[in-house]
Amino acid sequence: MQFGSALTALVWCSVFAHIRCDSCRWETLPSAGLRVNCSSQGFRTVPQLPADVTELLLQHNLLTTVTPGLFDTLHNLQLINLSVNPFHCDCSIRYLSHWLKRNHAMSGIAVCASPAELAHRHIDGLADADFPSCYSAECSGWVYNSVLCFVLCFLIGLLLWCLQLARNSTYTLGINEKHSGLEAESLRSLKPKHRARMRRSIGSDDMDNPLLNMELLPQILDVLHKQHNIKIKVP
């Protein structure tokens, strides 16, 4: 039996080289199970363990928390002892609390050492109300993400609506019979002295001539209407 236990420990040490196998004691149980005794070794974190471990002894160490999901892979675990560890019962301890509640029959007593308001409380007896700051932070994050998602969706929808509106819109421009350019229209709004000054600068003949080549006007109207959905209204 001792030879089998030593052989099992040697095999697992070779597979999980980062485990302090010289500190933990490995023993093959009569029921073909595997006991790993890592008590009183000063561990601050739970070492990586083989999936077929059936008994795990971690009492009298320096554990303050357990990584979420760590025990979920130990499907053959039948007994665990986490007593006499300085567990810090903050948000990170919720996984261990829920796990101990589901597996209460196989676990020893695990007690909170800090913070002061939760000291000496059994970890498997903690409730969600003991972690109000954790849930408020999660709720705030959820509300922020929801609002941000809503705003982004609204902006995207508004942009798509504007694009659709612009595509379906028709623009109508009116062209004066005498003056066909925007410059002539803007000149009409000037005061008489400004118009006189403008006439002297560009010449009176140019003012009376249309700024558009009337021979090209049908082609221009056709291009504006087909490609840009712009209609020209000639009074």
Residues 65-119 pLDDT 10s: 999 999 999 999 999 999 999 999 999 999 999 999 998 877 778 999 999 999 9
Q: Say which residue the tokens 């597996």 belong to.
A: 103
Give the global pTM.
Answer: 0.52
- Res 48: pLDDT: 85
pLDDT tens digits, one per residue of 202-232: 555 555 555 556 666 677 777 776 766 666 6
- Res 108: pLDDT: 75
Check if the beta carbon of residue 40 is closer than 8 Å to that of residue 60: yes
Assess whether pLDDT exceeds 50 at residue 136. yes
Q: Name the more confident of 195 and 13.
A: 195
CATH number of 2-131: 3.80.10.10
Assess whether pLDDT exceeds 50 at residue 46. yes
d(C-alpha 120, C-alpha 51), whole Å: 31
Q: Which of left, alpha, beta for 173 (phi over 0: left; psi -120 to 50: alpha)?
A: beta
d(C-alpha 178, C-alpha 188), whole Å: 12
Domain boundaries along the sequence of the chain: 2-131, 168-235
Query: Which stretches of 30-131 are DSSP H helices?
Result: 94-102
